[in-house]
Amino acid sequence: MPVEYRRATGGRIDRSRTLGFSFNGKRYSGFAGDTLASALLANGVSLTARSFKYHRPRGIVGSGVEEPATLVELDGEHASGNNAVTIVPLHDGLRARSVNCWPSPGFDLGAVNQLFARFIPAGFYYKTFKWPDWHLFEPSIRRAAGLASAPSSPPSEGRFEARNAHADVLIAGAGPAGLMAALVAARAGARVFLADEGSEAGGSLLSRDLQIDGAPALDWVANVTAELASLPNVIHLQNTTVWAYREHNLLIANERQPARDGVIERSWRVRAKQVICATGAIERSIVFANNDRPGVMMASAIQSYVNRYAVRPGKRAVLFTTNDSAYSVAADMKATGIEVAAIVDHRLEVSPEALALAQGIRVLTGHVVTRCKGHRRVRGITVAKLDGSSVTDISCDLVGLSGGWNPAVHLFSQSRGSLRYDDTIASFIPDQPAQPTQSAGAAAGLLHLSEALASGAEAATAALGAVGLAGNRVEVPAATDMPYRIAPLWRVDAGSTKGKAFLDIQNDVTLDDVHLALREGYDNVEHVKRYTTGGMGIDQGKVGNVNIIGTIALEQDRPLSEIGTTTFRSPYTPVSFGSVAGLREDSVVMPYRHTPVTAWNRAQGAVMYEAGARWQRPGYFPRAGESFQDTVNRECRAVRQAVGVYDGSPLGTFELKGADTPAFLDLIYTNIMSNLKPGAGRYGLMLTDDGLIFDDGVAFRLDEHRWLISASTGHADAVYQHIEKLLQVDHPQWQVHITPVTSQCSNATICGPLARDLLRKLGTDIDLSNESFPFMALREGQVAGVPARVIRVSFTGELSYEINVMPRHLPDLWARIIEAGAEFGIAPVGSEANHVLRVEKGFLSLGHEVDGTVDAFDLGMNWVMSGKKADFIGKRAVTLRRASGKPRRELVGLMPLDPMRAIPEGAPLTQNGAKIATEGLVTACVWSEVNQSWVALALLENGHSRHGTTAHVRLQDSVIEVKVTAPVFYDPDGKKLRS
C-alpha cells in the first residue's frame, strides 16, 4: 500500500496481521482492525462509487453508518448488497464491488446521465412518463431503479438467528454517555442490554485524544467495558444497531457477524422497561457547488481515519467549518503529517480555544468555499468572502466539512417522541417522550464530554427509579473538552458559479431540486421529501436532512422550528431479510413444536418443514438417488395403490362441553351440527362476520354434551381466540367450555385402499366393517394394545383411519404401523404428497384457494351452506355480497393441453392470454400420478359455467392453454373414501 497514505505508527489496527482483499476486481491489502473504507483510503483509492441518479464520481465521505456515497456489494459466502463501505470489517479474502455503476466507477456508462442533468430534475418522472402509458416505460424504469441486486442464493455457510430478550434498561449506544449509563444501571443490579453499532465501545472517544480523570479516555473505556463484561446482569453487544423502536418499548436490534456458533446475523427483539438513547450525533455537510467530489469528506471522518485507522486520506487539506469542532481535527491532521492549507470559517469571530489549536495554520474567518474543482478527485477549492469579494483558489486533494452536529434522534422519533429546534447547537433535539425513554449525551444535544458523562449517569438514575431500583451514587469522572460554538450555514450562495450543490448526497438531491419543489407548491417539509427523495431510502436524513430543512426555512423566511422535521422511519440502517426472518433452529426462545415422532422422521432423512403455529413436520422422505418429484410421486402411489401413513398430530383439536354446545356449533358453522348422533361427525366451514371463509374442519359428537372439533394447523390459535371471544363477550350466558387438546392426543393416519387390512393386522377390538364403522364416524377401543380413538376422515380421498392415542404411546404405535405395513408396501407420507392428493380431489386449502374474496358458493360448496338455519356467523354478509350480481371468481380445475406443461402457482388467467386485466389465478398445480399429467386448481370468473372450455394462463414470455374442468381429478363420486 502507498506509504504516503498509511501512517507508520499509531491507530487501533493490528499491523502484524496483513489481510488481502479485492475491490472492483483489483487486489489490495490492509490490516486487521481496518474497515473496507479505511483500507481503500490507505491504498490511495479515492474514486469508489458513482451517484444514484447522475452517476457522478463519488468517494468515501464518512466513517460510520452515516456514509452516504459509497455502497458496496459483497461476494462470497456472506453475499449481500448495499453495505456502507465504512461498516464492512476487513477480512482476508473479502471481495467487494461498487453498486450502481458499470463496468466500474472509473468508467461508468451511466455517466451519460450527466449530459442530460438539466432535463431530469426532481419529479421529472412524474411528469414525463404519464403519456402515452406508464406501463410502456415501467420495465425500463424498474431495471434502472434500486442499487445492488439481491443475492441469487442464500449464504453457503452460516445461518441467521432471532432471539428475544427482556431488560430493565436498554441502552442504545456505547459512547461516553451510554457507557456511563450502563455502568450506573449495572452496578444497581438492573438487567442491562447495551447495544452499539461500532466494532468497539467508546464512540467518538476512539477517534479523539481526550482525557478522563487525567488519563487517556480510552483507558476509562477499557475499564468500564471490562467491568460490564464481568457482571451477569449485563448483555453488551458491539456491531449491533438498534434499528427500530416499536410500541410498548419493544426495540429491534441487528447484531452483525457475531463470529460464534456459525451465526451470520442475529435479530434481537428486546422488551425494555426503560430505554436510554445514547446514539450520539452525526456531523452534517455544507452545501456549495460540487460539494460531492471524491476527496470531500466530513471533518470528523478524517479525524477518525487519521487517529483510529492510522490513515491519511489526503496530502494537502482544507477544512470548511461553521463551528469549533473542526479545529481539533486540523490539529490532529497537522500532527500526523497532512498539510493543512487553510481553515475556512464563515464566522467572523472564533473562540480563543479553537484558535489555539490552529497555531501555524492559515485561518480565513468570514469566508466560505464556493466551489470544488476537479472531477475524479478534488484538485482545489474556490474561496470568497461572505460578500462575494476576494475570490481566491487553494489547491488541495482533501476537503473536510463540518456544518455542525445533528443529534441522532431517529430512535427517539420512532418512539413517537417530539423534537424541538435548539438554537444553541442549531439542530433538532429530543423534546417530549411518548414512551419510557430518555436521551443522553450528544443524542440530547450535549456535545461536551463532561456533559455527556453526567447526562448518562442522570438518565440511568432516573431509569432505575422508574423500575423500582435504587443504586449507589456513582461518581461522574472529570473530563476536559473544548466548548462548542456554531453559527449555522444552510447553503453557500455561489451566484453564477457553475456546479451542482448537493443537500442529500446519497439520493442526488440538489439545492435546485428543493427550490423547484417549493416553486411548484410543495411547501411542507414532508412533501419536499417525497418530491425530491431527500432523506429517503438508506440515508434516512442522517447527513443532509437538517440542511434541507434550513434551505426551506431560508426560502420561506421562517424559523426552522416552524418547518419541523420529516418522519424518521425504521430501519435506521439497512437490515438483511435473513436477519428479519431470523431462522429458528431447534430449541431457542421461540421453539419449534415437535410431535412424538419428529426424531423418527429425522432419522429417516425427512426434509422438515415449518407448519403453522411453529410445528415441525416432514415435507417428504427422499431415498438415495431420488429427486424431489420422484419422492413425491412414490409417496402418492403408495397412498393411491396400497397404504401410507402420516403424522396428523399438529392438526388443531378442541373439546367442547356443556348443554349449549349444539347451539353454539350451529352458530359458528355454516351447516347444522346439532343433529349429529354420538359417534358421528360432519365437515363444516367457519365464516368471519363479513361472510368470508375463516377456517374449515370436522366436528364429532362424543356424547350428549361433549364434542370434538378440529381446525387447520395454521389457524388453530386464531380459531381458539375466535371461539373464546364469542363465548366470553357475545354469549357469556351459554354453558360451553372449551379445552385445547392438540397436544394431549397425537395421531397416526393410515390411508389407502389397504388401510383396513393394516389396521386389522395391528389388532383392534373395533368392528372395522363399513356398515359398523362408516365414513365420518368415530369409535373408541384398543389398537395395537393401547387405548385409541379412531376417526374415519379423509384428507387424501382414500379410505383413511386417524388413530388418536396419548402422546407417550405414539412412537411405539408408529413403529408397529411401519413394521406391520411392510407387508402392504407402506410408505411414510409428507406434506408435499398430501398436497398433491388433496389437489387431485379438489379439497380446500386455506393457504391456496381461500384468498380473502371467495365464499363457499364460489368454491362449489353450496351443500355446506345450510338454508334451514335461521342464522350463523357471516350468513347475512354472504347474502348481501352475492346480491350485487357482479361476476364471481369460482373454483375450477385446469388440465393443460400439453399434459407435461407445469403451471406456476399464482399465475394469472387472461382472455386469450392477452396482457389485460386478469380473470382469475392459479391457486395450486401438481403433477398427478393417477392422471399422468399436471393438474391445477384455479379461481376463474364465472368458472362453474365454463367447464369444457379453453382458458389461457399468462406467463411473462408465453401462454399456456388449459381445459377448464370440474375441480376434482380423481374419484369424483367419493367411492374410495367411503369404501
The tens digit of pLDDT for each residue in 227-275 reads 999 999 999 999 999 999 999 999 999 998 765 667 888 999 999 999 9
Phi, psi (5° rounding) for residue 609? -115, 160
Between strands 316-321 and 398-402, the pairing is parallel
Kindly state the cell numbers that stand for 454: 453526567
Q: Within its chain, how far is the Cα of 130 from the centroid?
A: 32
Say what the pLDDT of residue 497 is.
57
CA–CA gap between residue 84 and residue 845 (Å, rounded): 44
Tell me, what's the pLDDT at 118? Answer: 76
Q: Look at residue 496 in the predicted model and tell me its pLDDT.
A: 46
Nearest in space to 938 (alpha carbons), one of 915, 959, 918, 958: 918
Residue 196 in grid coordinates: 452499539
Q: What is the CA radius of gyration of the chain?
A: 34
Distance CA 714, CA 597 (A): 20
Running DSSP on this structure, what letter comes out for residue 151? P
Q: Determine the Cα–Cα distance for residues 2 and 413; give it in Å rounded to an integer.
A: 44
* CB contact at 8 A, 65 and 573: yes
Q: What is the pLDDT of residue 539?
A: 81
Q: How many angstroms separate the CA atoms of 693 and 718, rounded?
A: 13
Short-list 213, 176, 214, 212, CA closest to 196: 176
Report the C-alpha gap between 417 and 433 in whole angstroms: 4
CB within 8 Å of 689: residues ≥ 6 apart: 873, 874, 877
Say how far apart CA 640 and CA 841 lie, in whole Å.
Answer: 12
Question: Could you say which residues of the chain have pLDDT below 50?
Answer: 496, 587
Strand order in the sheet with 80-84: 26-32, 14-23, 94-98, 71-75, 80-84
CA nearest neighbour of 835 among 747, 712, 905, 926: 926
Determine the Cα angle at 407 with ends 404 and 411, to 5°: 155
**Residue-level pLDDT at 481:** 85
Contact in structure between 98 and 72 (CB atoms under 8 Å): yes
d(CA 754, CA 762): 13
Find, among 684, 655, 679, the residue nearest to 667 by Cα.
Answer: 684
At residue 687, the pLDDT reads 94
Which residue type occupies 94? Answer: L
Amino acid identity of residue 48, one-letter, is T
| Residue 684 pLDDT | 95
- pLDDT tens digits, 867-880: 899 899 999 999 99
- Give the list of residues 6+ apart from residue 401 with CB closer than 8 angstroms, or none: 283, 285, 286, 291, 296, 297, 298, 299, 319, 320, 321
Dihedral sign for Cα 789, 793, 795, 799, please: positive
- Strands (DSSP E) contained in 138-233 are 159-172, 192-195, 211-212, 215-216
Closest by CA to 47, choosing from 262, 268, 305, 295, is 295
Helix (H, G, I), strand (E, B) or coil at 14: strand
Query: Got the DSSP string for 623-687?
Result: -TT--HHHHHHHHHHHHHHS-EEEE-TTSEEEEEESTTHHHHHHHHBSS--TTPPTTBEEEEEEE
Q: Whose CA is closest to 909, among 894, 928, 930?
A: 894
Task: Tell me if 569 sits within 8 A of 141, measured CB to CB.
Answer: no
What number of other Cβ atoms are within 10 A of residue 259's Cβ?
10
Q: Which three cell numbers stand for residue 565?
A: 422535521
What is the rounded distance in angstroms from the CA atom of residue 894 to the CA atom of residue 952? Answer: 10
